[in-house]
Structure formats: structure tokens, C-alpha cells
Amino acid sequence: MVEIQAGWVKVPNGALQIDSYLAEPKGEGVFPAVIVIQEIFGVNSHIRDVTERIAKEGYVAIAPAIYQRTAPGFEVGYSQEETILGRKYKDLTKADELLSDIQAAITYLQAKPNVNENAIGSIGFCFGGHVVYLAATLPAIKATASFYGGGIATMTPGGGPPTITHTQDIQGTIYLFFGVQDSLIPNDQADQIEAELQKHGIPHKVFRYFAGHGFFCDQRADYNPDAAADAWEQVKQLFQRELRGELG
């Protein structure tokens, strides 16, 4: 584990200033970078914790607020009322704006002297798991970890053909993590996504755990420590291999 520093920064995207939580190793060096995409609950304490955990592994990590356009500063917990509110803002997002904001985060990272501009990955959870599948089509993204991303096979933010139809445009390697007890993502949808990745020859792995939705988050009722621990090891291997060129 490396020593880190963390805090809020602004990522410019034209006139929009995106509140973003940045965590990075202290001291000299050039590091790979990872973009962290939130659940529907904002860049809350769980997402900030994940961002810091990634930085402690030796990456520059940033979590841009993907609700910046409609709900600046939005951050809630996991109650039923907060879930309803988070879904309301999720339904206001649009794929082209999300991609634009993530590209802005990429540009921000690539301008930092401590970032290897050719070694950028992403990780997302819940709605963020869907968003990073979409963002895997951006040329700069070399590795993607998508956790229980709902709706990939059935919709895209803002409307239009479902995100799965963009599978052939994925640029790098993608790992997907699902819970077979997830009531929000039928198992046949996970199978459909895997089949599409295979069809187009996209480098990928799909991990299925005997767990429910949100199993990686220790603040959620479905938290599964065994599944979370295994998934974290898989994520570390993905980023080491694709962003650091380690493990062969």
C-alpha cells in the first residue's frame, strides 16, 4: 500500500465544472489512472473509499460526479427514499453527456504530470457499472471493471438502442461482476452480455457470485464479504495486467 492524498477538484468540460474526488499516491512518480463511476447515490462515502483504495494500490484515481448537470453536490445513502431519489436523477442522464463528462475526466488525467496518459482504466458500480460499459468504447480506456451494471442489455441512458449494441466498439479488456441472486439484473441478461462479448472477440471475463445486487458495498444490505474480496483481487489483476503490463 502506498501513501496517498485525496480531496475534491473541478474537472472542466466546456462551461461545466464537474465536482470530482481525486486520490493519488504521494511523492514522485508516473502512475496509471482509473476513473471511478458512482452508483445512483452520488460520489458518496463508499465511492470515495473505493477511489482511495485504488490510489493505495498505486494509481491516480478520480470519481467525477455524473449528476453534476442536474444535481450538483448530490450524495445520499441507501435507504428506500434515497434510492428513489437517486433513480430520479439517473433517469435524467444521457449517454452522450455521460461520455462527454468521462472524456473530460480522461483529458484532466492525461494533463497531470504524474499520470501515464496511455494507461487509463475505469471501474463502475450499479448504474456506474452500466456507464463504464458504455465508456469502454472510448479509445483511451484500456481496462474496465463493471460491477452489477443494470440495463446494459435493455436500455441506454437518455433513450436509443441498448448499450449492448455498442459492444463491438469496446477498445480494451472488460471484466464484469454479477450476483446470481440480483433481482435487478436477470441472469439471462448477464448471459446475453457475455455472448455479445464473445461474438465480437472483446477480451473479457465474467464473474458470477452467489450474491445479490450491490454485493461489493459494505454499506448495503446485500454486501457479501467473500464475493467482494474475490472481486477486488480480480480487479487488481485486471489493472496490473492491462495498465501496468504486469502478470504477463
19, 46, 130, 182: the active-site residue: 182
200 assigned to active site: no
Catalytic: 101?
Answer: no
Residue with cell 457470485: 209
Residue 203: count of CB within 10 angstroms of its CB: 12
Q: What is the CA radius of gyration of the chain?
A: 16
How many whole angstroms separate alpha carbon 239 and alpha carbon 118?
13
Residue with cell 480522461: 106
Active-site option among 101, 130, 213, 217: 213
Instruction: Say if residues 63 and 148 touch (Cβ distance below 8 Å).
Output: no
Catalytic residue among 126, 130, 217, 222: 126
* CA-to-CA dists, residue 44 to 39, 92, 138, 174, 217, angstroms: 9, 19, 25, 25, 11
- The answer to whether 84 touches 78, Cβ cutoff 8 Å, is no
Residue with cell 445512483: 40
Measured CA distances, 92 to 20, 156, 235 (Å): 19, 12, 30
Question: Is 169 known to be catalytic?
Answer: no
Helix, strand, coil percentages (3-state) for the chain, rounded to 5, are 35, 25, 40
* H-type alpha helices, the chain: 45-56, 80-90, 95-110, 127-135, 187-199, 225-244
**DSSP, res 78:** S
Q: Are 8 and 21 in contact (CB under 8 A)?
A: yes
Active site residues: 126, 182, 213
